[in-house]
Structure formats: structure tokens, C-alpha cells
Amino acid sequence: MREVYLDHAATTPPFPEVLKIIQESYTNLYGNASSLHSAGQKARQALEKAREEIAKTIGAEPEEIFFTSGGTESDNLALFGTESFYPLQPVITSIIEHEAVLETVNALASKGHPARFLPVNNEGIVDLKALKALLVEKPYVVSVMLANNEIGTIQPLREIAALAHEKGALVHTDAVQALGKIAVNVQELGVDMLSASAHKFYGPKGIGFFYLRKDVKALPLFQGGGHERGLRSGTENVPDAIAMALALKISTRLFTRTHYRYERWTAQILKKCEEIGDFRLNGHPKQRVPGLLSLSFKYINGEALMELLDMNGIAVSTASACQSHSAKRGYSHVIKSLGIDETYANGTIRVSMGVENTQEEIDFFCEILKKSVKQLRNYRNDQ
């Protein structure tokens, strides 16, 4: 059976160059980057080069980049790391954030920081009027993701940052679904903190980075040997940091080519959905991450559709991969926030394309998608 992987929003297969450099690094850069001997300093030099490359890509300074285990740790570091400097001040986020932010905000609320949640419109765009109203409470941080992981909508982060800074609030963005897919520059966005995860842009799992503007104070989440300039203790993961820098470099370089292909394939998939009928595209129609589609089909079950596609060798998802661990059933909090009728919302799948996909695979997906939706609707009508 052929395998068609269309769940790149969950994770991406590492580039061959990334796998190669990981192996080379474990072979040649085995020294502890904190050791003073030559093997350790060789590893340190490679680590700092990776830091410089990442910083350059996002418009930051090397000393503003901290290596972490991934997006979740970086989100926690942004919100928990800064809260001690702003006793009991509110925290603002959106209702469609990833659980890594939502659960952290809920934990902050239990410590006495009032939690404020921004609504979104039916395309997933944050309500700026609501933000202005909440900023009167003088929050210490506003955390809004750059691109949504389920519907792909890109937020007006520059406007959000400008409004927040007027009231003296810090601005954090979870850029996990954006980095490697669209151009990201922290200076242009005006953010104070940013979270990223390598496995979303064809790098290894278990490593990410945290951008912290150099004039912003933060405390570490846990204590140890004071690595990463005291903010993130633990022996540095040199091979994966090097691999992450390379993955980001390659994925950024591929923007133009992949965006053109994704635009063409998106049009093809949407045309097929129109043939199927009774469907809707979730999120903003244009202000979205290229290649990520949230599709809702009327009168079917999204999980059943996902399973039928999987039986034909096609991998898609119904929502965030992280949300699949939840005991809650039904469609996601993101889809609920859009105000979609349940007859559509229950039949939602997420399709996310990647650099290794081919035209043949998209053709096959369109063919099986149409057959699968028809099969599910016929089954429903027979009941």
C-alpha cells in the first residue's frame, strides 16, 4: 500500500541532510560543550555557530536565543519565567492557543494572575477591540500564537504587539506552526519572546529554542548548573541544536518553491471539495499558513473519515496531535471558537502538506477523499 503523509502540522520527517549532520555530530562533537578541554570547546564552537545561524534567520541577536526541549518548554519559560517580576498582574491570551499556552495560563491563574481570553472571529482572527479593552487591566504579558496549528490562520501580530507595548505589557508568540513555513522576523513582529520547535520544520524531535529580547528579565524553570547563561540548565544537546539550525536554514530557503506548490494543491483540493459538496474551509481564506487546510464536511464524523483515509494509506488528522491525548471527545476548542454549525464541525479533518509530497499523492488523496466522504454519507442515509 502506498503511504501519503499529509499531517506535517503534527510533525515533519527530518531532511536527509539533517539526519546526516546529527550522525556526524554525535561522532565528531561528542565533547561536553561546557568542558574546557579541546573536545569540549570544539562542541561549544559548533553550538554557538548554530545559535548565530538561528538568530540571523529570525532577526535576533545570538545572546537572545536559548536552546530548550521544544515548544512546550519554551512557552512555559516565556510565561512562568517572567511572571515573578509582575506580581498578580493579568495574563492575556487567545481562546485558540495551543494547550502548551492555555494550560500554562490556567496554572498562572491558580497562582493569582487573572487569566483573560481573547475571542476570535469566524476566520480565527483575534478581536483587537477586545484586546484594547482588556489592556486597561495592565496585564504583564499578551501571548498570541503567530499561526494557528489547526486552521492555519496567521494573526496580526504587529498590531497586537503595538497595542500591548503601549500599555507596558510583554508580548510572547508561540511560533511553532509558523517558523519554517513563513518568514518570521522578531524585529518586524515587535515581540519580546518567541517559542519554536525543530520537529515542525524538518528537524529532530526533542529540541527547540526560546527567543528572549535582551532587555527582558526571566527566571529559569528549574535549577541546575547554570547552562544557557543561567536560564536553562542541563548539558547542551549539541548535535540536535546543529541539526535544528540546518533544518531552519533549509526550510526557509525552500519558501518560494513550496509556497507555489502548496497554493496549486490547495486550489485542487478545494475544487474537489466543491465537487463533493456540503463542505467548508475553516480559518482565514488567504491570511493562512501555506499548505495547511482545515476542512469540515457536513453530516459525517471526522474521526471516521480520518480512519477511512488511513486505511487507504493517507495520514491526516482531526485536530492537534497534542489534543488527541485529551480525554475530551468531539471536535476541538479551535473549531468550537469559530461558531461553526455542529453538522459541519463534527466532520472536520486537517490536511497539512510537506516538501516531500508529490502531485501524484495529491491526486490520490483527492480521489480517496471523495470516495470516503460519499461512503460515510451513504452509510448515514442507510441508518
Upper half-sphere CA count for residue 179 (Cβ side, 13 Å): 35
Cα 142 to the center of its chain, rounded Å: 17
| Residues sharing a CB contact under 8 Å with residue 229, sequence separation 6 or more, in sequence order | 63, 66
Say whether 352 sits in a helix, a strand or coil. Answer: strand
Residue type, 379: Y
What is the β-pairing status of strands 141-143 and 4-5? unpaired
* Interatomic CA distance for residues 73 and 310, integer angstroms: 31
* Interatomic CA distance for residues 194 and 310, integer angstroms: 34
Work out the number of other CB atoms within 10 angstroms of the CB of residue 87. Answer: 10
Helix (H) or strand (E) holding 272: helix 255-276
Q: Which residues are catalytic?
A: 322
- Residue where the block lists cell 499531517: 7
* Interatomic CA distance for residues 206 and 225, integer angstroms: 20
DSSP, residue by residue, 135-167: GGG--SEEE--SB-TTT-BBP-HHHHHHHHHHT
Question: The C-alpha cell of 154 is what?
Answer: 496567521
Q: What's the N-to-C CA distance of the chain in angstroms? A: 31
Query: Starting from the edge strand earliest in sequence, which strands make up the sheet with 91-94, in order?
Result: 65-68, 208-212, 193-197, 170-174, 141-143, 91-94, 115-118
